[in-house]
Chains A and B, each alone.
Chain A
Amino acid sequence: QVQLQESGPGLVKPSETLSLTCSVSGDSISPYYCNWIRQPPGKGLEWIGHIHYRGSTDYNPSLKSRVTMSVDTSKKQFSLNLSSVTAADTAVYYCARVSSAYYTPLDYWGQGTLVTVSS
């Protein structure tokens, strides 16, 4: 069974970089895309962007200047970096899989990890 698991620090200081990893088990990471989605406490879902297992990326323009995604195929891991964080970046961060860049749904999700931005 496919499983995705987010990991990373639960607390990040303002102006620093948030770094998370999504580990995939139960299936190959090819030919899939890893999407990152976040949800501020009590609010809705925001798509951050996605990365293909071969490394091509597509970021939400609202976050593009601060987002970097990467992939380590040998470890079956995808990573998200979000720089210059503020309190507004406090959210549960999810990784989720799609099978193509467009049209397909987010069929498998990680459990999510809460990241709080605070000094």
Chain B
Amino acid sequence: DIQMTQSPSSLSASVGDRVTITCRASQSISNYLNWYQQKSGKAPKLLIHTTSSLQSGVPSRFSGSGSGTDFTLTISSLQPEDLATYYCQQSYITPFTFGPGTKVDVK
């Protein structure tokens, strides 16, 4: 199985801050990396697919980059509604696997 890691596991930032979350795969997954946002008590929501493609309706302050094994999710200007846990997921090969999540707190 491809192992996914994320860092940091949690962070706290102020409104307007730039936030970066890193995801690493245990082997190359090309660009088949997706990001999901999960708010408390809700299902995950797709934010970014295939490394850098913004899902329809997702604010443009979210962006993704990377390739191979190293990927990042950036929130350019953190907003109060971004309070959530963020998961990366590889869709390159089954079993599909998720990172352990990064919990984002807004100060």
Contact = CB atoms under 8 A, between A and B. Distances in A.
Interface SS of chain B: loop
B71 interface: no
Interface residues of A, number: 24
Contact of A44 (B45, B46, B55, B98): B98
Interface SS of chain A: loop
Interface string A101-119: 1111111011110000000
| Interface residue range, chain B | 20 to 34
A2 interface: no
A62 B43 contact: no
B98 A103 contact: no
A47 B95 contact: yes
Interface string A63-88: 00000000000000000000000000
Given A44-B101, A47-B96, A103-B50, 6 more contacts: A45-B98, A47-B94, A104-B91, A105-B50, A105-B55, A109-B43
Interface of B: 1, 32, 34, 36, 42-46, 49-50, 55, 87, 89, 91-101
Interface of A: 35, 44-47, 49-50, 58, 60-62, 94, 98, 101-107, 109-112
9 contacts: A44-B87, A44-B98, A47-B94, A62-B95, A101-B94, A102-B91, A105-B89, A106-B46, A110-B43
